[in-house]
Structures are given as C-alpha cells and as structure tokens.
Amino acid sequence: MYGVFNMDSLVRFSEINQSKPFDFHLMLSNQKVAELVKRLDLLSIKKVSLVGFLSPLSINEWSLKAELRATVKQKCVISFKPVKTIVCETINRTFSPAALQNTSEADDDGISPVIFDDTLHELNDEIDLTEIIFEELTLILPLYPKIKGAELGYYS
C-alpha cells in the first residue's frame, strides 16, 4: 500500500510504523511543480514522480530507496531552443545520527584521504520528498544543456 501525497510531501518518522517499510508514491501538485521550475530555471517539468520506500535499519536509522522519474525541458545555452531530458534515476539514502560524524573535520589530518558518504543524511523527525527531488535534479540535469547540432558561431 502506497502513501500517496498530492499536497504535502513531508514524511514524519514519528508518524509512520517504526517496524516495517513505509511505501510512498509522490505525485507533485501543480504548485510544487511550478516551484521546481522556478528554482531550477527550467522551461517545464512533467510527469514528476518519486516512488519508493523508507525502511527502518535500527532505532535511529532509516534507509530510503526510490526511483525518480521526470521529463524536463531546459533552454539550450546556444540556441535557446528547448532541450528535453528524460530522468529515470535510482536514489539511495540513509538517514542516521551518524551523518553528523560524516561531516566532522576533527579527524582530518590533511594527509589521509577523507571519505565522505554522500548517501548519508542527518536524521530529523521529517524529510521533505520534494527537496529530495530538487537535490537529485540539481545533480542530474546538465548545467549547460545543448540541443543536438547547436554550435557557437565565430566572432572575428
């Protein structure tokens, strides 16, 4: 059974069963889609969905596994014509108090390699699934989208 959120994308750990996985299927409201378009400077974003589950790993740890799907249009940096990107991305995150140690610089001696786990996030009582979508799209979408065949002209 999926928890389907149309208006509120907040999941509060204190409000879900602590002993079994919590399935979700997030479909964004038109308002949330408009906010994403503005924040990411897109022409449009359609068919946005985040489907997955949160599983308890221990008393204070949760695992999120999800699939993000979306169809995104950005402006070509050369021609300003629409560039379409189809997103189908697997997301794995762990929410844990150990995330605070993950960002600590106390053990950094300047010589040894520093290992940073970007799937580890601080455990708060709630997570906003819309923010996870925003973060993932920020990482996935091309910074300089270019339509096939577009080339810069020469200035002489």
pLDDT 10s digits, 87-108: 999 999 998 876 555 544 555 5
Enter the pTM of the model: 0.78
Kindly state the average pLDDT of the residues 32-60: 93
Positive or negative, the CA dihedral 128, 26, 91, 59 is: positive
Looking at mean pLDDT, say which of 11-20, 56-65, 86-95 comes out highest: 86-95
In tens, the pLDDT along 107-153 reads 556 666 555 555 656 767 888 999 999 999 999 999 988 887 777 66
Q: Specify the 3-state DSSP secondary structure of 40.
A: helix
Closest CA to 14 of 130, 129, 133, 123: 123
| Cα distance between residue 31 and residue 36, in whole Å | 9
Q: Could you tell me the two tokens for 23?
A: 């399935």
Q: Does residue 39 register a pLDDT over 70?
A: yes
- As beta bridge partners, residue 94 has 63, 120
Closest CA to 1 of 22, 20, 19: 22
What percentage of the chain exceeds 70 in pLDDT? 74
Looking at residue 17, what is its pLDDT? 87
